Structure 1
Amino acid sequence: MEPVTTETATDVFEAHRPVLLGVAYRMLGRVADAEDVVQEAWLRWSGSDRGDVREPRGYLVRITTRLAIDRLRQIKARGETYVGPWLPEPYVTDFGDTVPDTAERAVLADSVSLAVLVVLESLSPLERAVFVLREAFAFPYADIAAMLDRGEPAVRQLAGRARKHVEERRPRYEVDPVQRRDLTERFLAAAANGDLEGLMELLAPDVRLVGDSGGKSRAPLRVLQSADKVGRFLVGAAQKGVPDFSLRFLELNGGPAVLVMSGGKPDSVFQLDVADGRVQAVYIVRNPDKLHSLAAP
């Protein structure tokens, strides 16, 4: 194999960066941590002897996955307590033309959804790695085993255990982006106008509202459940208002979402899960530490 020049090494890495960032984010649920892991992967790639690397994608995913496992273990070892409900950091997802297949787009979107990432938090680092590599990126078991230095039977066992855990705990929601966008717009209009009756028509009877503030902004410190509780909370929040606000629609975590800006800075993110024409879950991220990556225009 011919020696890989620095320019070629950079080109190869950049070509695979979206996949590496996707793996790292699904492993960690934090954009900054995922970017740090990918940067460390670059340092190892650029400083290594690449003469024997025949499959750069697998090699780079292996480095990234191992670094993400180490980072996840460090986070868990710290045993930090979080104030109120926890949600992943919002992640801009725009697959563009890089994922033309509709089925593949649906799998990638589902694997990065807020609901699934919350469930993944309860897996062990190894289980999470196997689940992400297998379910989101369809790596063969033999490749995953090589990446993790585990036997293939052990990897299959980890995959089965992780899949069962996720299937038992994940909510089942529709992923039709058109319906989600339509309901999101109607939901926002009703909430902004303090229209409790209009909200009640949109909310499922057992709708859940999960607000993530990390104790650094105003948000419920417990999950609210029932249309009445969620509707009244939203109307009350709208009455208090957000100064000098504007709204931006964008795709976050595989689905339509709304970024609320206040004074030119990110204030909060709203995203809905829908099924049967009703809002089943409302996610609100208000922790300012999780909104930094959305500050750019």
Structure 2
Amino acid sequence: MNERSEPTTGPVEPPAQGDRTDSATETFVAHRNLLFTVAYEMLGSAADAEDVLQETWLRWMKIDLGQVRDRRAYLVRITTRRSLDRLRTMRRRKEVYVGPWLPEPLLTTPDVAEDVELAESVSMALMLVLETLSPTERAVFVLREVFDVGYEEIAAAVGKSPVTVRQIAHRARRHVDARRPREAVSPSEARAALESFQRALDTRNLQGLLDVLAPDVVLISDGGGIKQAAPRPVIGAGKVARMIVDGLGKAGIALTGEATVVNGNPALLLRVDGEIDGVIAVRVEDARITGLYYVRNPRKLTRIAIENPLTLK
């Protein structure tokens, strides 16, 4: 794949080196939030997304800007290719990861929650569905369905023909649609379910948990081998509720929950003795919680103290 294949605008007077560097830097900074969002949605890891941005920056500074017609599209192309390389590496890491793997939660700015399309695309529920796609399928789905990139540009980014990209997009869309929530839930509905869950959690109320959890609820906890977590998903309201109540009772800890917004959606920040213990994100359908995603791995909790700006533009 040749990143220098971007169509040109014709002969361009080459800028002085200093002007060229300033122009390249200005362009990169202007699109940095977009590039981070693309990389994060493809990888589910803020740390890896930042590494991809660094690689994109280094590659971008070597580009002859006079040959680039659409700088934004070109930067997205570089970011996509670097993300694909990183995805393949991450797959090998996940094979030896201790316990279930969850995406890295991000404390997001208020505008992310206000953008329904963006909030859904970075929700824990959808990010987990994207984990079931192949690297190329994920790249095509994210670029097409989330960022509305044209098939020709996606083809250039992933090294496939436009016809093949259309086929991949159709297959990935069908796969995701079969696994994503049936309908979007408003932030107020999600908050109401989460508040009921928090009340039951605070009072160790087993019946309260059973009332807010869907019968087939799934709890996935990620400790990464550093913090204790269930070694595999726990399925069923009874099992999940009893595990939570029994676990809190045995531990005898003072656990407190604080409402927050993670990945553009309502979530709980849990603390033990004032120290951050983890983040719980939820999937809500028909006013009940169908998915609980509990991230305890401290290496994945570094982006919940400062708001992270995400964007589709």
- Normalising by structure 1, what TM-score? 0.89
Q: Where does the alignment leave 5 or more consecutive residues of structure 1 unmatched?
A: none
Determine which of 257, 263, 271 is the counterpart of 1:253.
263
Match of residue 99 from structure 2: 84
Match of residue 67 from structure 2: 52
Q: CA offsets, 1:8-30, max 9 Å, x none?
A: 32221111111111111111111
**What is the DSSP-based 3-state SS (H/G/I as helix, E as strand, rest coil) of the residue aligned with 2:303?**
helix
What is the 5 A alignment of 1:98-177? 105-172=115-182, 174-177=184-187
Which of 286-295 and 164-173 deviates more?
164-173
Asked if structure 1 preserves the Cα contact closer than 8 Å seen for 2:278 and 2:295, the reply is: yes
How far off is 1:265 after superposition? Answer: 4.2
The structure showing larger relative contact order (alpha-carbon pairs under 8 Å, at least 6 residues apart) is 2
**What is the DSSP-based 3-state SS (H/G/I as helix, E as strand, rest coil) of the residue aligned with 1:51?**
helix
Determine which of 293, 296, 299 is the counterpart of 1:289.
299
**What is the DSSP-based 3-state SS (H/G/I as helix, E as strand, rest coil) of the residue aligned with 1:249?**
strand
Are residue 219 (structure 1) and residue 234 (structure 2) matched? no
Match of residue 189 from structure 1: 199
Identity of aligned residues (%): 49
- Normalising by structure 2, what TM-score? 0.85
Supply the AA of the counterpart residue of 2:290: Q
Distance change (3 Å), C-alpha of 1:43 and 1:185 = same
**What is the DSSP-based 3-state SS (H/G/I as helix, E as strand, rest coil) of the residue aligned with 1:266?**
strand
Asked if structure 2 preserves the Cα contact closer than 8 Å seen for 1:258 and 1:269, the reply is: yes
Distance change (3 Å), C-alpha of 1:107 and 1:241 = farther
Are residue 199 (structure 1) and residue 214 (structure 2) matched? no
How far off is 1:32 after superposition? Answer: 0.2
Task: Output the CA distance in 2 between the equivalents of 1:130 and 1:272.
Answer: 26
Which of 281-290 and 46-55 deviates more?
46-55
Supply the AA of the counterpart residue of 2:44: G
Match of residue 283 from structure 2: 273
Asked if structure 2 preserves the Cα contact closer than 8 Å seen for 1:266 and 1:295, the reply is: no
Determine which of 22, 26, 31 is the counterpart of 1:16.
31
Q: Report the aligned-residue RMSD.
A: 2.3
Task: Output the CA distance in 2 between the equivalents of 1:198 and 1:15.
Answer: 48
Q: CA offsets, 1:261-280, max 9 Å, x none?
A: 34554310011111111111
**What is the DSSP-based 3-state SS (H/G/I as helix, E as strand, rest coil) of the residue aligned with 1:90?**
coil
How far off is 1:62 after superposition? Answer: 0.3
Distance change (3 Å), C-alpha of 1:48 and 1:90 = same
How far off is 1:155 after superposition? Answer: 0.7
Match of residue 241 from structure 2: 231
